[in-house]
Amino acid sequence: MRVVIAEDHALLRDGLTRLLVAFDFDVVAVVDNGPALLPTLLEHRPDVAVLDVRLPPTFTDEGLQAAIAARTRLPGLPVLMLSQHVEPLYARELLSTPHGGIGYLLKDRVADVSDFVDAVHRVAGGGTAMDPEVISRLLARREPLAVLTAREREVLGEMAQGRSNAAIATQLGVTEKAVSKHINNMLTKLDLPPSDDDNRRVLAVLAYLNA
């Protein structure tokens, strides 16, 4: 699986490269600044890009804007953004782009190697991987979620992170059947279309939270 990495911090950049290579990813390019990122993504057309939100020269949102521009030119380009802090505005900008294959994680999550590698695979496969803290911020913005039960809100939060029914069941200590029931009730209450496709379902939830 071909990967492009963008990170200005040398130690983290090297760490990400070594980590992904150790898990049999093919790191085809590594950049450390915003201006070089978009041309690199367009040239290599990676299976997934792991990008810092903030890059030189201004350290604002160069990485994010390059990702959005690349997804406009290469629809569906899988992108996993890394951020030092929870920035819901940046997450909403990323979520506003069409198609799946998107992720937004805090850099601290990289320390949990198995979860991070799973997130990269999930995004590369067209799925989503959203940081729990980002989801919490988005959930807090939606007053209509008051119609949901506490358990349904828990399930919604897990869904929005990109977890499958089986993963949600394991995380919450319930059966898959119970998870499916909670999801159906939740989608009905929020007037969202039912779907057996995990990615479509997650995108519908994220679009709702991002509205």
| Rounded average pLDDT over 115-121 | 95
Measured at the alpha carbon of residue 127, what is the angle toward residues 124 and 129, in degrees to the nearest 5? Answer: 95
Tell me which CATH homologous superfamily contains domain 2-139: Response regulator (3.40.50.2300)
Is 150-210 assigned to CATH 1.20.1560.10? Answer: no
- 53 neighbors 80 (Cβ within 8 angstroms): no
Task: Say whether pLDDT at 41 is over 60.
Answer: yes
DSSP string, 95-116: HTSSSS-EEEEEGGGGGSHHHH
Top-confidence residue, 20 or 190: 20
pLDDT at 202: 72
Task: Say whether pLDDT at 18 is over 60.
Answer: yes
| Rounded average pLDDT over 134-147 | 72
Model confidence, pTM: 0.78
pLDDT at 59: 92
Top-confidence residue, 204 or 38: 38
Half-sphere exposure of 26 (CA within 13 A, CB side): 7
pLDDT at 211: 56
CB contact set of 48 (below 8 Å; sequence gap of 6+): 1, 2, 3, 78, 79, 80, 101, 120, 123, 124
Q: Describe the strand order of the beta sheet including 102-106 as a list of residue ranges.
A: 26-31, 2-6, 48-52, 79-83, 102-106, 128-130
How much of the chain, in percent, has pLDDT values that exceed 70?
90
pLDDT digits (tens, 9 = 90+) for 157-207: 888 888 888 999 999 999 999 999 998 888 888 777 666 666 666 766 776
How much of the chain, in percent, has pLDDT values that exceed 90?
55
pLDDT at 98: 72
pLDDT digits (tens, 9 = 90+) for 59-88: 989 999 999 999 999 999 999 999 988 777
pLDDT at 159: 84
Top-confidence residue, 88 or 115: 115
pLDDT at 160: 80
Of 36, 60, 206, 50, nearest in space to 135 by CA:
206
Least confident of 13-17, 139-143, 151-155: 139-143
CA atoms of 154 and 191, how far apart (whole Å): 18
* CATH 3.40.50.2300, the chain: domain bounds: 2-139
pLDDT at 22: 97
Cis peptide before 75 (omega within 30 of 0): no
- 205 neighbors 133 (Cβ within 8 angstroms): no
- 7 neighbors 32 (Cβ within 8 angstroms): yes
With residue 79 as reference, give the H or E element that holds it: strand 79-83
pLDDT at 196: 65
CA atoms of 112 and 182, how far apart (whole Å): 28
Give residue for tokens 């998870």: 179
* CATH 1.10.10.10, the chain: domain bounds: 150-210
